[in-house]
């Protein structure tokens, strides 16, 4: 896990790239190497995310309970927008936003894991 900061924030009038940054953190790659999912149409970004991860032999899974280890927590920031942060063992660990305010409530957790062949 490499703690990167967002390169785009809503404070600067842009669509924030917190999700792409969290993915970069968990995959130890700069956000410049992660697709700009925040710029994609709402009906396309999730499919693109799944495809991008699959190309790396990875899958994403949403769970309601905090998992062990690292995960992405999706929730609402105090300003009312959805935000993605990193948790470790259910505890806030890294906020990619420079404000470091994390989220007020967590909607769910996203786990990145290897694709398992049956």
- pLDDT given at position 10: 87
pLDDT in tens, 64-83: 999 999 999 999 999 899 99
- pLDDT given at position 13: 83
- pLDDT given at position 12: 78
- pLDDT given at position 21: 98
Distance, CA of 44 to CA of 36 (rounded, Å) = 12
Which residues in the chain land under pLDDT 50? none
pTM for the model stands at 0.94
- pLDDT given at position 57: 97
Domain ranges of the chain: 10-114
**CA–CA distance from 67 to each of 14, 40, 72, 73 (Å)?**
31, 28, 10, 10
In 3-state terms, what secondary structure has residue 18? helix
């Amino acid at each position: 896990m490499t703690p990167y900061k967002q390169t785009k924030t809503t404070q600067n009038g842009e669509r924030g790239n917190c999700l792409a940054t969290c993915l970069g953190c968990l995959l130890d790659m700069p956000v410049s190497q992660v697709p700009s999912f925040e710029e994609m149409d709402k009906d396309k970004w999730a499919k693109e995310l799944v495809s991008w991860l699959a190309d790396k032999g990875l899958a994403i899974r949403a769970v309601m309970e905090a998992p062990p280890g690292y995960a992405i927590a999706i929730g609402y920031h105090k300003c009312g927008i959805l935000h993605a942060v990193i948790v470790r063992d259910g505890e806030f660990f890294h906020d990619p936003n420079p404000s470091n305010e994390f989220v007020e409530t967590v909607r769910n957790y996203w786990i990145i894991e290897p694709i398992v062949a049956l």
